């Protein structure tokens, strides 16, 4: 179908946010913020009721949205084409491989045209499906809708499920009778989005969020009773700690996990004794992390305690689980980062990373015999699905690479038989032979080497003429996988080189890679990314004016930092829900995530040194009078993670101080939060806008 050229957009004046100076002083250092007024005083209320946003703030955000609409109007047809392409690569009537649990198998299914998943089950041996939750039906009439956790009861008679209809990540928790399909009267607001059943199925444990969006209280709910009478089981007193609830794979223990970004503490409740007091595994100790499983007789603990930087696995008696009784099961080995451990009745499975690549290692508990599940590609992504069952020899994992669509395998841990259960379908077609994926090692300015994964068409000229989208994140120890991404093919098929820079701040090269990219060493994250950009240009994969950098959330902070540091290295910047007002946010301990974030960035309230470290790179605070490349920033009004005013203030100050008139756009989704639009196709429209911007600023539109 031909795309019709839209009529010219009405002229839109460039928005100019009013300057209302507010001066702050701490550690004897004063600074002035002209745009602090964009932070709504009633931000907690706005999270739940977006319509209560101050009219002046709303008018500014809507003016910026209109400015973007006008500036990108000439790409409307291109956006439609990109959307159609990306949608054409999605199997609309897709479904997951059902996961068995006792007499049933549980799965997710989409229907043609449907935006949201349907949760279904069938008998384990197969047969007709039963629809448990119809996401499309539940979303009717809502501008935003996202399903949270869904947990069936041990006897399979009920489903605890949660939804968020604001984008603020305050989830309402409900209980559905699976025989009738009706929800019970139990309706629990402001939860973290999930819950855990007791063994008897009479009780449901869940975490409630406070007005500052902190998950600090664990409650026990008796099904069929008024949630107002729910029992407070445990309260986390430290505002710097998150709290979550889960269970071991055996389902013997309910886990209460308190943690920040470097310290953890776990309490357990026997699932068959749900009214018991929580029992502490080991007291929290700064910079010591641990997580808990059990093998039916003892606890199995993944930890970095006692200098195990890349983690080790220990065991402890159930009746005496303290640190003094921890015994090595898998000793620490430097450079082999153990990411996760799952324990089954006869086997332990760990996901680990070494030399930048993941692998799965299976250990037979009876005799300690180990083997790894091997793969051959130069760069790839690997994922584990723990499943529901404990007494099983089968695990499920997924595999993909930049050129290989995702594959789901069932694996027998005893016989080592690997069965392909599903291959991701690309309805519009995909031939891996048309593409090349490479892993480069880029020299950083301090002598380190930064892995960079590339994807491009085999016929793309590598003479400096190709545009490049360079993606980065580099925080919280999160590693960006080299996985299959159907969306980016719309750029690659138009001659782009798609690149992922595995910079410090992630754990791509072990825990050390993370430690070298946080707090006082945070600048390494930025210099690594700039080094990657300059290397790609120097080696003629692209040229500096054709590199569009992209990052979201903490990766959006990366975008703001590098464009201040090296604006000449980039031809465009895409910053999605960008954490760019770092100093102000870390100085505001009333915000949802600030106290738990101090271990990652430093505490500028308590420490002048931390203040100066953050002030030296905080994107908003380092905007200078210089030329900036084209910039697209995207935010979400109800985002509790990166509040909407961060990108709004950033763009306002950029527009005030920059010395050129390159495109500078802010798009605030007035109906969504951190993850953008909730429907699978609505989200593609946002991706189409982002890609159209990249194509436009590189002359490919």
Marked catalytic residue, from 67, 152, 347, 674: 674
DSSP secondary structure code for residue 65 in this structure:
H
Marked catalytic residue, from 490, 639, 671, 678: 639
pLDDT of residue 4: 33
How far is residue 562's CA from residue 553's CA, in Å, rounded to a whole number? 14
**pLDDT tens digits for range 562-572:** 999 999 999 99
User: Does position 519 have pLDDT exceeding 60, yes or no?
Assistant: yes
pLDDT of residue 672: 75
pLDDT band at 598 (very low <50, low <70, confident <90, very high): very high
| DSSP-derived pairing of the beta strands 572-576 and 631-636 | parallel
| DSSP-derived pairing of the beta strands 104-109 and 631-636 | unpaired
Q: Cβ distance 442 to 454 under 8 Å? A: no
pLDDT of residue 383: 93
User: What integer is the mean pLDDT of 634-642?
Assistant: 91
Residues near 372 by beta carbon (within 8 Å), at least 6 away in sequence: 359, 360, 361, 362
**pLDDT tens digits for range 429-444:** 999 999 999 999 999 9
**pLDDT tens digits for range 76-131:** 999 999 999 999 999 999 999 999 999 999 999 999 999 999 999 999 998 899 99
Give the HSE-up count for residue 565: Cα atoms under 13 Å, Cβ half-sphere.
Answer: 21
pLDDT of residue 206: 98
Token duo for residue 479: 């590693």
Average pLDDT, the chain: 95
Tell me the three state secondary structure of residue 80: helix
pLDDT of residue 7: 36
**From the CB of residue 377, how many other CB atoms can be counted at a distance below 10 Å?**
16
How far is residue 94's CA from residue 466's CA, in Å, rounded to a whole number? 34
Is 463 catalytic? The answer is: no
Which has more pLDDT, 673 or 346?
A: 346
Is 479 catalytic? The answer is: no
Go through 7-23 and write b for each residue having 16 or more CB atoms within 10 A of its CB, e for each that does not.
eeeeebeebebeeeeee
**pLDDT tens digits for range 297-312:** 999 999 999 999 999 9
Token duo for residue 590: 């009333």
Tell me the three state secondary structure of residue 37: helix
Q: Which helix (H) or strand (E) holds 435?
A: strand 435-443
User: Does position 677 have pLDDT exceeding 80, yes or no?
Assistant: no
DSSP secondary structure code for residue 266 in this structure:
E
Token duo for residue 34: 């002209």
pLDDT of residue 375: 86
Q: Cβ distance 427 to 91 under 8 Å? A: yes
**pLDDT tens digits for range 125-180:** 988 999 999 999 999 999 999 999 999 999 999 999 999 999 999 999 999 999 99
pLDDT of residue 1: 29
pLDDT of residue 590: 85
The answer for 440, left when phi > 0, alpha when psi is -120 to 50, beta otherwise, is beta
Residues near 287 by beta carbon (within 8 Å), at least 6 away in sequence: 262, 263, 304
Is 210 catalytic? The answer is: no
How far is residue 625's CA from residue 654's CA, in Å, rounded to a whole number? 9
Which has more pLDDT, 377 or 240?
A: 240
Which has more pLDDT, 177 or 375?
A: 177
pLDDT of residue 400: 96
**pLDDT tens digits for range 3-60:** 333 333 344 589 999 999 999 999 999 999 999 999 999 999 998 899 999 999 999 9
Residues near 235 by beta carbon (within 8 Å), at least 6 away in sequence: 216, 217, 218
Tell me the three state secondary structure of residue 188: strand
Interhelix angle 523-538/554-565, nearest 10 degrees: 70
**Radius of gyration over every alpha carbon of the chain, rounded to an integer in angstroms:** 25
Marked catalytic residue, from 553, 581, 671, 678: 553
User: What integer is the mean pLDDT of 462-484?
Assistant: 96
pLDDT of residue 5: 34
Q: Cβ distance 588 to 598 under 8 Å? A: no
**pLDDT tens digits for range 538-590:** 999 999 999 999 999 999 999 999 999 999 999 999 999 999 999 999 999 98
């Amino acid at each position: 179908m031909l795309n019709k050229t839209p009529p010219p957009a009405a002229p839109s004046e460039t928005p100019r946010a009013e300057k209302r100076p507010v001066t702050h002083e701490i550690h004897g250092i004063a600074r002035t913020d002209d745009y602090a007024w964009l932070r709504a005083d009633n931000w907690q209320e706005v999270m739940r009721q977006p319509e209560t946003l101050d009219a002046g703030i709303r008018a500014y955000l809507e003016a910026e949205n209109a400015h973007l609409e006008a500036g990108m109007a000439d790409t409307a047809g291109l956006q439609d084409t990109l959307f159609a392409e990306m949608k054409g690569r999605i199997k609309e009537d897709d479904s997951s491989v059902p996961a068995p649990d006792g007499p049933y198998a549980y799965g997710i299914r989409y229907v043609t045209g449907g935006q949201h998943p349907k949760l279904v089950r069938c008998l384990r041996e197969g047969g007709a499906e039963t629809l448990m939750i119809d996401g499309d039906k539940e979303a009717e009439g809502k501008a935003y809708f996202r399903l949270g956790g869904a947990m069936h009861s041990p006897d399979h008679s009920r489903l605890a499920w949660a939804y968020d209809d604001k984008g603020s990540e305050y989830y309402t928790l409900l209980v559905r009778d699976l025989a009738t399909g009706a929800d019970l009267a139990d309706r629990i607001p402001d939860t973290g989005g999930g819950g855990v059943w007791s063994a008897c199925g009479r009780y449901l444990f869940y975490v409630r969020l406070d007005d500052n969006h902190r998950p600090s209280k664990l409650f026990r709910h008796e099904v069929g009773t008024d949630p107002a009478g729910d029992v407070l089981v445990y309260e986390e007193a430290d505002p710097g700690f998150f709290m979550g609830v889960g269970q071991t794979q055996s389902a013997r223990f309910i886990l209460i996990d308190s943690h920040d970004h470097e310290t953890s503490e776990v309490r357990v409740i026997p699932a068959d004794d749900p009214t018991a007091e929580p029992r502490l595994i080991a007291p929290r100790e700064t910079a010591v992390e641990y997580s808990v499983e059990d093998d039916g007789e003892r606890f199995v603990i993944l930890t970095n305690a006692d200098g195990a930087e890349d983690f080790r696995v220990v065991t402890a008696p159930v009746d005496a689980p303290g640190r003094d009784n921890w015994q090595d099961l898998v000793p620490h080995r430097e450079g082999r980062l153990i990411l996760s451990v799952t324990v089954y009745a006869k086997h332990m499975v760990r996901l680990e990373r070494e030399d930048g690549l993941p692998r799965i290692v299976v250990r037979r508990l009876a005799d300690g015999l180990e083997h790894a599940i091997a793969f051959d590609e130069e760069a790839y992504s690997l994922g584990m699905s723990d499943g529901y069952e404990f007494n099983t020899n089968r695990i499920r994992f997924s595999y993909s690479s930049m050129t290989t669509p995702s594959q789901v395998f069932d694996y027998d841990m005893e016989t080592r038989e690997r069965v392909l259960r599903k291959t991701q379908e690309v309805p519009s077609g995909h031939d891996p032979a048309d593409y090349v994926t490479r892993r480069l090692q880029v020299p950083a300015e301090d002598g380190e080497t930064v892995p960079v994964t590339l994807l491009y068409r085999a016929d793309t000229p590598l003479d400096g003429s190709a545009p490049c989208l360079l993606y980065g994140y580099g925080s919280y120890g999160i590693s960006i996988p080299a996985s299959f991404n159907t969306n980016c093919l719309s750029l690659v098929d138009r001659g782009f080189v798609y690149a992922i820079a595995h910079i410090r701040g992630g754990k791509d090269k072990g825990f050390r890679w993370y430690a070298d990219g946080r707090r006082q060493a945070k600048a390494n994250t930025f210099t690594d990314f700039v080094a990657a950009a300059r290397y790609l240009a120097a080696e003629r994969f692209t040229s500096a004016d054709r590199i569009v950098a992209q990052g979201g959330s903490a990766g959006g902070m990366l975008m703001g930092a590098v464009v201040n540091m090296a604006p000449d290295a980039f031809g465009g910047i895409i910053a999605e829900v960008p954490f760019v007002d770092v100093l102000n946010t870390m100085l505001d301990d009333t915000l949802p995530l600030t106290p738990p974030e101090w271990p990652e960035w430093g505490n500028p309230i308590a420490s002048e040194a931390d203040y100066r470290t953050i002030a030296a790179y905080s994107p908003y605070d380092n905007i200078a009078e210089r030329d900036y490349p084209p910039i697209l920033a995207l935010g979400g009004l109800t985002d509790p993670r990166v509040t909407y005013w961060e990108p709004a203030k950033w763009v306002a100050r950029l527009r005030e101080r920059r010395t050129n008139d390159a495109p500078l756009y802010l798009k605030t989704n007035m109906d969504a939060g951190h993850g953008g639009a909730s429907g699978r196709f609505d989200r593609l429209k946002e991706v189409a806008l982002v890609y159209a911007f990249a194509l436009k600023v590189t002359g490919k539109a």
